[in-house]
Amino acid sequence: MLFVKREKAEKLLVELLNQVREGKTSPDLFGNSLLGTALDRTFNLLDADGDETVMEQVPAVGQQGIMAMQHFLRGIHHCRLEVKMRWDTPTKQYRTWAGTTNRLVSLSSQLGHMREEAPESFSFAGLVLSLKGFIEVQDERQGRIVARYPEEALLAAIQSLHVGQECQGSMVKLTTVHTTTGARKSSFILMAITGR
Where along the chain do its domains lie?
A: 6-113, 120-195
Residues 6+ apart with CB under 8 A from 25: 33, 35, 36, 39, 87, 89, 90
pLDDT of residue 22: 58
The pLDDT of residue 78 is 86
Q: Give the gyration radius of the chain's Cα atoms.
A: 19
pLDDT at 29 over 60: no
Q: Is this structure's pTM higher than 0.75?
A: no
Give per-residue pLDDT as tens, 111-155: 999 999 999 999 999 999 998 878 999 998 889 999 998 877 788
pLDDT band at residue 3 under the 50/70/90 scheme: very low
Long-range contacts of 85-93 (CB under 8 A, 24+ apart): 85/17, 85/46, 87/25, 87/39, 87/43, 89/25, 89/36, 89/39, 89/40, 90/25, 90/26, 90/27, 90/33, 90/36
Higher pLDDT, 58 or 91: 58
* pLDDT band for position 100 (cuts 50, 70, 90): very high
Give, to the nearest 10 degrees, the angle between helix 34-47 and helix 51-78.
100
Q: Assign domain 120-195 to its CATH superfamily.
A: Nucleic acid-binding proteins (2.40.50.140)
- How does the average pLDDT of the chain come out, rounded? 85
Instruction: Give the per-residue pLDDT at 153.
Output: 79
